[in-house]
A = this chain, B = another copy of it.
Amino acid sequence: MPAIPDSHRDLLDAQVATLATIGPDARPQLTALWFLAEGDTVRLSLNTTRQKVHNLRANSAATLFILDLANPYRYLEIRGDAHLEPDPDLAFADRVGAKYGADLRQMDRPGESRVVVTIEPNRIHAVDMGA
Protein backbone atom coordinates (compact mmCIF):
# COMPACT_ATOMS: atom_id res chain seq x y z
CA MET A 1 0.00 0.00 0.00
CA PRO A 2 1.42 3.41 -0.89
CA ALA A 3 2.35 5.49 2.14
CA ILE A 4 1.65 9.09 3.03
CA PRO A 5 5.02 10.87 3.28
CA ASP A 6 5.95 12.60 6.54
CA SER A 7 6.14 15.92 4.66
CA HIS A 8 2.35 15.88 4.18
CA ARG A 9 1.14 13.90 7.17
CA ASP A 10 -0.06 17.11 8.91
CA LEU A 11 -2.75 17.43 6.22
CA LEU A 12 -4.47 14.38 7.74
CA ASP A 13 -5.54 16.78 10.50
CA ALA A 14 -7.06 19.24 8.03
CA GLN A 15 -10.57 20.55 8.47
CA VAL A 16 -12.04 19.31 5.20
CA ALA A 17 -11.11 17.16 2.25
CA THR A 18 -12.47 17.10 -1.28
CA LEU A 19 -13.86 13.79 -2.49
CA ALA A 20 -14.06 13.01 -6.19
CA THR A 21 -16.32 10.23 -7.41
CA ILE A 22 -17.51 9.37 -10.92
CA GLY A 23 -21.14 10.30 -11.48
CA PRO A 24 -23.77 8.64 -13.67
CA ASP A 25 -22.86 11.16 -16.38
CA ALA A 26 -19.28 9.77 -16.25
CA ARG A 27 -17.99 13.12 -15.01
CA PRO A 28 -16.03 13.69 -11.83
CA GLN A 29 -18.29 14.86 -8.99
CA LEU A 30 -16.46 16.81 -6.28
CA THR A 31 -17.67 17.74 -2.82
CA ALA A 32 -16.04 19.09 0.33
CA LEU A 33 -16.52 16.90 3.39
CA TRP A 34 -15.39 15.85 6.82
CA PHE A 35 -13.00 12.95 7.16
CA LEU A 36 -11.20 11.01 9.87
CA ALA A 37 -7.65 9.72 9.55
CA GLU A 38 -6.57 6.92 11.84
CA GLY A 39 -2.92 6.19 11.12
CA ASP A 40 -2.63 6.27 7.34
CA THR A 41 -6.22 5.15 6.80
CA VAL A 42 -8.73 7.78 5.79
CA ARG A 43 -12.42 7.18 6.35
CA LEU A 44 -15.63 9.11 5.75
CA SER A 45 -19.10 8.88 7.26
CA LEU A 46 -21.66 9.32 4.50
CA ASN A 47 -25.44 9.44 4.55
CA THR A 48 -26.57 6.76 2.12
CA THR A 49 -29.08 9.06 0.41
CA ARG A 50 -26.25 11.16 -1.05
CA GLN A 51 -25.38 11.04 -4.74
CA LYS A 52 -21.72 10.39 -3.93
CA VAL A 53 -22.73 7.16 -2.16
CA HIS A 54 -24.76 6.10 -5.18
CA ASN A 55 -21.71 6.89 -7.33
CA LEU A 56 -19.39 4.82 -5.13
CA ARG A 57 -21.74 1.85 -5.13
CA ALA A 58 -21.71 1.91 -8.95
CA ASN A 59 -17.97 2.69 -9.28
CA SER A 60 -15.59 2.44 -6.35
CA ALA A 61 -13.03 4.80 -7.90
CA ALA A 62 -12.52 7.59 -5.37
CA THR A 63 -9.92 10.30 -5.05
CA LEU A 64 -9.49 12.25 -1.85
CA PHE A 65 -7.75 15.60 -2.13
CA ILE A 66 -6.58 17.56 0.90
CA LEU A 67 -5.49 21.11 0.23
CA ASP A 68 -3.36 23.06 2.68
CA LEU A 69 -5.68 26.03 3.22
CA ALA A 70 -2.76 28.14 4.45
CA ASN A 71 -0.67 27.32 1.36
CA PRO A 72 -2.89 26.09 -1.47
CA TYR A 73 0.12 25.09 -3.55
CA ARG A 74 0.62 22.17 -1.20
CA TYR A 75 -1.71 19.19 -1.19
CA LEU A 76 -2.17 15.49 -0.79
CA GLU A 77 -3.99 13.44 -3.42
CA ILE A 78 -5.05 9.92 -2.49
CA ARG A 79 -6.40 7.90 -5.41
CA GLY A 80 -7.98 4.62 -4.54
CA ASP A 81 -11.02 2.50 -4.15
CA ALA A 82 -13.79 3.17 -1.70
CA HIS A 83 -14.86 0.29 0.49
CA LEU A 84 -18.33 0.78 2.00
CA GLU A 85 -19.58 -0.82 5.21
CA PRO A 86 -22.77 -0.24 7.16
CA ASP A 87 -22.62 1.83 10.34
CA PRO A 88 -25.92 0.64 11.89
CA ASP A 89 -25.26 1.94 15.41
CA LEU A 90 -23.51 5.08 14.08
CA ALA A 91 -20.39 4.23 16.11
CA PHE A 92 -18.13 5.55 13.36
CA ALA A 93 -20.31 8.63 12.75
CA ASP A 94 -19.85 9.42 16.43
CA ARG A 95 -16.05 9.20 16.07
CA VAL A 96 -16.15 11.67 13.19
CA GLY A 97 -18.46 13.84 15.27
CA ALA A 98 -15.97 13.75 18.14
CA LYS A 99 -13.25 15.11 15.83
CA TYR A 100 -15.44 18.01 14.77
CA GLY A 101 -17.35 18.65 17.97
CA ALA A 102 -20.59 17.88 16.13
CA ASP A 103 -23.41 15.37 16.31
CA LEU A 104 -23.77 13.70 12.93
CA ARG A 105 -26.96 12.01 14.13
CA GLN A 106 -28.66 15.40 14.08
CA MET A 107 -27.71 15.87 10.43
CA ASP A 108 -29.78 12.92 9.22
CA ARG A 109 -33.53 12.57 8.84
CA PRO A 110 -35.45 9.80 10.56
CA GLY A 111 -34.94 6.50 8.77
CA GLU A 112 -31.76 7.52 7.00
CA SER A 113 -28.60 5.48 7.45
CA ARG A 114 -24.86 5.94 7.12
CA VAL A 115 -21.95 4.00 5.73
CA VAL A 116 -18.30 4.00 6.71
CA VAL A 117 -16.29 4.69 3.58
CA THR A 118 -12.66 3.57 3.73
CA ILE A 119 -10.36 4.85 1.01
CA GLU A 120 -7.99 2.05 0.02
CA PRO A 121 -5.10 3.90 -1.61
CA ASN A 122 -3.85 2.87 -5.00
CA ARG A 123 -1.58 5.85 -5.56
CA ILE A 124 -0.63 8.85 -3.42
CA HIS A 125 0.69 12.17 -4.67
CA ALA A 126 2.17 14.57 -2.15
CA VAL A 127 2.70 17.87 -3.90
CA ASP A 128 4.37 21.10 -2.83
CA MET A 129 4.69 23.61 -5.66
CA GLY A 130 6.06 26.32 -3.38
CA ALA A 131 4.25 29.64 -3.30
Chain A interfacial positions (CB closer than 8 Å to B) = 15-16, 18, 20-23, 25-32, 61-63, 65, 67, 69, 72-73, 75, 77, 79-80, 122, 127, 129
Q: Which one of B15, B18, B62 lies within 8 Å of A65 (CB-CB)?
A: B18
Q: Which one of B63, B69, B72 lies within 8 Å of A30 (CB-CB)?
A: B63
Number of copies: 2
Separation of A28 and B60 alpha carbons in the complex (Å): 11
A interface majority secondary structure: strand
The 21 sampled A-B contact pairs (Cβ below 8 Å) are A16-B67, A16-B72, A16-B73, A18-B18, A20-B28, A20-B30, A20-B63, A22-B22, A22-B26, A27-B63, A27-B79, A28-B61, A28-B62, A29-B63, A29-B77, A29-B79, A30-B65, A31-B77, A31-B127, A32-B67, A69-B69
